[in-house]
Structure 1
Amino acid sequence: MTSPINPSQLSFFITPPHDCPYLIEQKSQTIFLSPEIHADTLLYTALINQGFRRSGEHIYRPQCNNCQACISVRIPVDHYSYSRSEKRILKKAGKFNISVEPAKFDQKHYLLFDQYISARHRDGDMFPTSPQQFKEFLLSDWLETNHLNFIDIQTGKLSACCVFDTVNDGLSAVYTYFDVSLESYSLGKLAILKLIERAKQLKLPYVYLGYWIKECSKMSYKGKYRPLECFVKNRWVEIS
């Protein structure tokens, strides 16, 4: 159930314009929930329904004057049917033991995260990594945050992890990192498909994917799921 909290009654602050991390030659601004406000699941459910996200303990939303490229998106799982390519991805999932556990810091998760960032995002602000950065980016003290783990059956090694939050009306994908040598298993997509399965099992209506940025190759994949709901002009609109 969506929280009755009205976000307009809360206190926020906005950053000065800064270089956009997604679009070249663009300036971006971000609004953050005031750190004086104690966040909880009820409040975050209200805010995620208004296009907000969390990074660690911080709740934010892009607020750019001349650009609306960042669109918050979610999958309505009750209406979701897997495409042929997604069914093929699910079939290959037999290579892994898939389980859920409370999110916490440990060496195996951090090492896989570090390897993934080093291989895929050396040009981003998360490189180089550190254990403190891992904790501050992915973990939370006031939400139910879990690891969706993919363990290679043959080797026993952690092959992928999807960090996700549980809110009152869905599951929110925070970040997925994986062994890039297993690219043929489409582990990023597989993680989302398994979140859809889990949301259905828990009778939660949505999987929140964060921001879809069509013009950014690293974020454009989120627009390929159908049906998909987009938060546009302060309301959710479904595209199919």
Structure 2
Amino acid sequence: MRHTLPLAPQFYVTAPQPCPYLPGRMERKLFTSLQGTTAEELNGALSQQGFRRSQNVLYRPACSECTACLSARIDISRFKPSKSQRRALNRNARLERRATSPWATDAQYALFRKYLDSRHADGGMADMDVFEFAAMIEETPIRTRVIEYSDRDTGALVAVCLTDVLDDGVSMVYSFFDPEFEKDSLGTFIILDHIQIAREAGLPYVYLGYWVPGSPKMHYKARFTGLEVYADGAWQIMRDPADYEGQSHPLAVDPIAEQVAGISLPDMCR
């Protein structure tokens, strides 16, 4: 007997586990599978509602007592680089960008390991082997590119970003770089270059992933002008970061059933 997948996506919630951003808190995620002929449409629609992609899964924080994590994007029509960001562009003028299909290479994995060992040796990805890395890069049912940055003089691979192409922007899924060049503000440069990529493609937004007020790891995202965050069910222009300190209370978050009921799906996924 042949079985078919349900047309409407099914949503699930993960078990609570320690939050990687705010000590003493627990995280939980709402997620759904990304597959089939409607994957592009579903990814686009849910990205506009604060979801992020990881391989063939879309997820959004659904913590039971905290609302700190906010999806962030840059409206490039309102972006103006600061003096320090212009310096980051100048310091990395030697780098050449190359966009490729989502295919993992040995050079990428070597750089990835170097980055993790230097900056995130105790993180959740620290034990990722070459096969898991390849899956992260290659398992995508939507339009995805690997953006590589190489030194023009030496040819060395210096930075990489896995980037999804949406109807309204580019989404930076995951980036990593050579920690030896951290002083050159490579993380900032990659975002600045993605703003340029979006401009070249005529797309209005650069999706940055989650911004977590109170987390030092995420503070850099608040430095970009034109920033918007997804809060209270809508995108809004970034106010004072202090205004977004996440609540920690059992009544701060809607029940999962209400969250799912409030998700807007594209017509072909209903």
TM-score (normalised: structure 2): 0.81
* Greater relative contact order, per chain length (Cα 8 Å cut-off, separation 6+): 2
1:26 corresponds to 2:25:
yes
Tell me how far 1:184 sits from its aligned partner: 1.9
Amino acid at match of 1:29: R
Confirm whether residue 153 of structure 1 aligns to residue 152 of structure 2. yes
Report what 2:128 is aligned to. 129
* Structure 1 position 206 matched with structure 2 position 205: yes
2:232 partner amino acid: K
Amino acid at match of 2:55: G
Residue equivalent to 1:4:
none
Shift of 1:36: 7.4
* Contact 1:162 1:174 (C-alpha < 8 Å) held by counterparts: yes
Report the identity percentage: 35
1:92, 1:185 within 8 Å by CA — same for their partners in 2? Answer: yes
Q: Distance in 1 between matches of 2:177 and 2:66?
A: 31
Match of 2:42 in 1: 43
Deviation at 1:37, TM superposition (A): 6.7
CA distance in 1, matches of 2:33, 2:79: 36
- Change in Cα spacing, 1:231 to 1:149, as seen in structure 2 (3 Å) is same
Partner Cα separation in structure 2 for residue 72 and residue 104 of structure 1 = 27
CA deviation vs aligned residue, 1:180-205 (integer Å, no higher than 9, x gap): 11112111110000000110111101
Larger radius of gyration: 2
More strand per residue: 1 or 2?
Answer: 1
- Tell me the residue number matched to 2:79: 80
- The aligned counterpart of 2:238 is 239
Provide the secondary structure at the position in 2 that maps to 1:148.
Answer: strand
What is the total number of aligned residue pairs between the two structures?
Answer: 232
Contact 1:13 / 1:34 at 8 angstroms: preserved in 2? no
Number of the residue aligned with 1:57: 56
Residues of 2 paired with 1:194 and 1:101: CA distance? Answer: 16
* 2:252 alignment partner in structure 1: none
Q: Does the Cα contact within 8 Å between 1:102 and 1:145 map onto a contact in 2? A: yes
Q: Report the Cα offset of residue 61 of structure 1.
A: 0.6
Q: After the TM superposition, which residues 134-145 of structure 1 pair with which residues of structure 2 at under 5 Å, given as runs?
A: 134-145=133-144
Letter in 2 for 1:117: L
Structure 2 unaligned spans of 5+: 1-7, 240-270
Equivalents in 1 of 2:87, 2:35: separation in Å? Answer: 47
Offset, 1:39:
5.3
Shift of 1:41: 1.5
Query: Which residue type is aligned with residue 15 of structure 2?
Result: P
Q: Hey, what does 1:163 align to over in structure 2?
A: 162
Distance change >3 Å, CA 25–CA 111, structure 1 → 2: same
Partner of residue 265, structure 2: none
What TM-score results when the alignment is normalised by the length of structure 1?
0.91
Alignment-mate amino acid for residue 89 of structure 1: A
Deviates more, 1:214-223 or 1:44-53: 214-223
Q: Aligned residue for 1:193?
A: 192
Structure 1 residues 66 and 200, CA gap change in structure 2 (3 angstroms): same
Cα distance in 2 for partners of 1:10, 1:102 equals: 27
Are the aligned partners of 2:51 and 2:60 in contact in 1 as well (CA < 8 Å)? yes
